[in-house]
Amino acid sequence: MEEKAVTVHWEALKGFCKRVFLRLGVPPEEADVTAEVLVEADLRGIDSHGVARLRRYVRGLQVGQMVPRPKVTVVRETATTALLDGGGGLGPPIGRKGMQMAIEKAKETGVGFVAVRNSNHYGIAGYYAMMALEHELIGTSMTNADTLVVPTFGRKAILGTNPISVAVPAGRERPFVLDMATSAVPRGKIEVYHRSGEDLPLGWATDERGLPTTDADRVLKNLAERAGGGLLPLGGAGELMGGHKGYGLALLVDILCGALPGAGYADTIYPKGPDGRPLPANVGHFFGALRIDGFRPIEEFKATMDDLLRRLKDSPKAEGQQRIWVHGEKEFEMAEERRRRGIPLHPKVASELRVIAEELEVEYDLEGH
């Protein structure tokens, strides 16, 4: 019999995560931002990047891979660009600072681009791109990540899931928010299937021989042991269904987030010392913001966006289908529902949170909400 999900209130969940980070020496503001980014993922239904990732952050802080109080520095800066060094700190506070800089530069000059090196996992890419919406700007965010993805025709994971997000304001319609991995799925989706004991859809991942597999446990074990295989690029195996295009997008992200700022890239990211202990991850990010009124009046643009989005949604539906979705709609609606009714946590995730609370002697008060 399948265990029932544990439903928790989002504010209580954020408060718990913040207490965990505070206990590990993270300053209050940075702890709040990191907790917010994790819970925002769960609110939007991106459970693979939500509090299920808390253990990863706890472990990173405990072993020194993530620095609780980093020195974040501006290495280079122009009117429209900047390079930040994150000092090995938590990704969400560094990412928020980078996106804020891009936004301020765009408001001043029309465009702003900020690259970041020496950072860590920053959560969902969409969080940062969406920061531009409240300023009526177009925002973009991307990051490279641990090596989980095999290149087209390869059998060894050498690229990250390397997500890309773009957020564009509209008028009466919801904003367009694209938030996608450049792999067929993120690793977290494999973990979700592993927790539920379900077979993976064919075309998500390969085994150690580079051949498609539906065995989630095998994929995760191979990735942990660097035994070969991994996630497939967006489009799947080979070129027939466009897998080489997902591979190209992942490589583009690695260029902008790794090669450009001087961060890690491909299999140089998340290095380990001779004793096997993790060294600073040196994850890289890239943020951009664009002022719409540099091209046309904002209200005109937003009216055009409304018309474009409505034309898509009102177009004829495929047989048996009731709705055509625009990117971001499902997540906005999910967030509204989960703010109202609570966030359902997989029982194994809830159990892991309780273990973290016990280990760190942090109050665990989620299931009473």
Taking 80 as the threshold, does the pLDDT of residue 369 lie above it? no
What is the average pLDDT score of the chain? Answer: 95
Residue 352 neighbours by CB under 8 Å, 6+ apart: 52, 54, 55
Question: What integer pLDDT is reported at residue 192 of this predicted model?
Answer: 81
Cα–Cα dist 317/16, whole Å: 43
Classify residue 13 by burial, with Cβ atoms within 10 Å: 0-12, 13-18, 19+: buried
CB atoms within 10 A of CB 198: 11
Task: Look at residues 18, 67, 68, 69 and name the one whose alpha carbon lies nearest to residue 39.
Answer: 18
Confidence of residue 151 (pLDDT cuts 50, 70, 90): very high
Confidence of residue 2 (pLDDT cuts 50, 70, 90): low
Residue 26 neighbours by CB under 8 Å, 6+ apart: 34, 61, 68, 69, 90
> Which domains does the chain possess?
1-63+329-369 (1.10.1530.10), 70-184+232-314 (3.30.1370.60)
Could you read off the pLDDT of 179-222 as tens digits, one per residue? 999 999 988 789 889 988 999 999 999 999 999 999 999 999 99
Instruction: Average the pLDDT over 46-55 and give the result.
Output: 93
Confidence of residue 278 (pLDDT cuts 50, 70, 90): confident
Cα–Cα dist 80/67, whole Å: 29
Strand-pairing partners, residue 138, are 290
Name the strand (E) or helix (H) holding 309.
Answer: helix 298-313
Taking 70 as the threshold, does the pLDDT of residue 368 lie above it? no
Report phi then psi at 196, rounded to 5: -90, -10
Confidence of residue 88 (pLDDT cuts 50, 70, 90): very high
Question: What integer pLDDT is reported at residue 186 of this predicted model?
Answer: 83
Report phi then psi at 24, rounded to 5: -90, 10
Cα–Cα dist 84/309, whole Å: 36
Could you read off the pLDDT of 293-342 as tens digits, one per residue? 999 999 999 999 999 999 999 999 999 999 999 999 999 999 999 999 99
Strand-pairing partners, residue 287, are 114, 141
Report if pTM > 0.85.
yes
Instruction: Average the pLDDT over 41-67 and give the result.
Output: 95
Task: Look at residues 95, 133, 107 and name the one whose alpha carbon lies nearest to residue 285.
Answer: 95
